[in-house]
Amino acid sequence: MSPQAGPRLAGKRILLGISAGIAAYKSAHLARLLKKAGAEVRVVMTAGAQAFITPLTLQALTGEAVRTSLLDPEAEAGMGHIELARWAELILIAPATADLMARLAHGHADDLLTTLCLASGAECVMAPAMNQAMWRHPATQDNARRLADLGWRLLGPDAGDQACGDIGPGRMLEPEAIVDALFSSPEAASLSRSPEDAPVRSSESAPDSSNAAASGLTITITAGPTREPLDPVRYLSNHSSGKMGYALAAAAASRGARVRLISGPVALDTPPGVERIDVESAIEMCEAVRRAAADSDIFIGCAAVADYRAEQISEHKLKKTTDDDTLTLRLVKNPDIIAEIAACEPRPLMIGFAAETRDLETYARDKLIRKNLDMIVANDVGQAGLGFGAERNAALLLWREDQRRDGSSAPGRLELPAQSKATLAETIIDTALARFAARAPSKPSQQDTP
């Protein structure tokens, strides 16, 4: 907990809601930290939460009776739930399960905690905690968007090992991170994993990120097309807009990473807190990547790099002739940037992209192995409304293998349906961080939510 959290929380009336999930054990520590910071804390638990932690534990830590039922005759003699709703200046739900998120997103008031949320005008914050597949499910992502629209601030989830053996986003943030985030500025809330489709903005500084899933890591990302000159006015290029790469850079920066974005020519603003390096050709991009790779922990090759360039660039504009209806260009191969960096030792965690129009998984898995990558993001760019230039995309994530708790391993695979590129980038970055944590024992992730 940061030294600043105490003064900000002193005297604050906080209603701590606890829903079902193994991360409920962290709520006891969270309650203790809130009390230590000087806040007044009252706890409401759902019926499921009591299977993981007892009300008596929270009562001992807060010095206040714990409420568990909407239909408690003694408490409701004076409309106690309305009094509690009026008392709270801040409602903090940690952990918030997928079920609770769904009920709040759709205005349900079928237990004490959801009723209080609807009856209160307090600031509302939640820390989601669930299995990684549940968090990534389109229904949960839609509920997160609904909650954000209703004024909820989502802190997390974090990524890493989970109690069920999965790896990915879904772990509840650590109590210290939650306390530090409670009164950070609205701009700092951009690190929350709510999948709002916010536009990329230009900024001089990074968000004040309390979610430090990538703190201390350097992530290099390439984005956009390259332009291969033919003469002073013409070039070869492709339809890449750079939107996916820029969304990845924004997502990585929001998680606390130092982000270096090597960009081809695009019409996009630099995401907050991102170091941007502009290049034009594949050769220029290759040189920039070589310089950046040496101190990178993760490298993501999202740029649509031209495979070929002109063997010779004309000094003057190529003129159209009247006696010849054809023009012959001699092309030579450009460097294979991602394969070159993947061959280095030591090397960063290598993530590539594969844009295909058929046999998506076959070609992507071949590229994963052939280029010695750790993970690949495969896109079917033949689908209308997805891929190049579009606001939405779908992806198939493949990685070499997952180590299971029984010592066995299996190839990793995650299929992501069509969604905004900003939302897609969140999951790609979280998966990349989980792969890095699995590869780097010096930076272990702690076991958490189901």
269 annotated among ligand-binding-site residues: no
12 annotated among ligand-binding-site residues: no
303 annotated among ligand-binding-site residues: yes
Of 124, 164, 286, 344, which is the active-site residue?
164
367 annotated among ligand-binding-site residues: yes
448: which 2 tokens? 């958490």
250: which 2 tokens? 């924004």
417 annotated among ligand-binding-site residues: no
Question: How far is it, in rounded angstroms, from Cα 319 to Cα 300?
Answer: 40
307 annotated among ligand-binding-site residues: yes
Residue 359 class from Cβ within 10 Å (0-12 exposed, 13-18 middle, 19+ buried)?
A: exposed
- β-strand partners of 328: none
The helix (run of H) or strand (run of E) holding residue 1 is none
Selection from 19, 21, 13 nearest residue 44 by Cα: 19
Question: How far is it, in rounded angstroms, from Cα 314 to Cα 307?
Answer: 19
308: which 2 tokens? 């070929």
- β-strand partners of 276: 261
Residue with tokens 């897609």: 424
348 annotated among ligand-binding-site residues: no
Using DSSP's 3-state secondary structure scheme, residue 273 falls into coil
337 annotated among ligand-binding-site residues: yes
3-state DSSP helix/strand/coil % of the chain, to nearest 5 = 35, 25, 45
Q: Specify the amino acid at residue 191.
A: L
Question: How far is it, in rounded angstroms, from Cα 357 to Cα 408?
Answer: 34
371 annotated among ligand-binding-site residues: yes
Residue with tokens 């960096």: 341
183 annotated among ligand-binding-site residues: no
Q: Is 286 a catalytic residue?
A: no
Q: Catalytic positions, please? A: 164
Binding residues for CTP: 301-303, 307, 317, 335-338, 353, 367, 371
Task: Please report, in range form, the residues annotated as the binding site.
Answer: 301-303, 307, 317, 335-338, 353, 367, 371
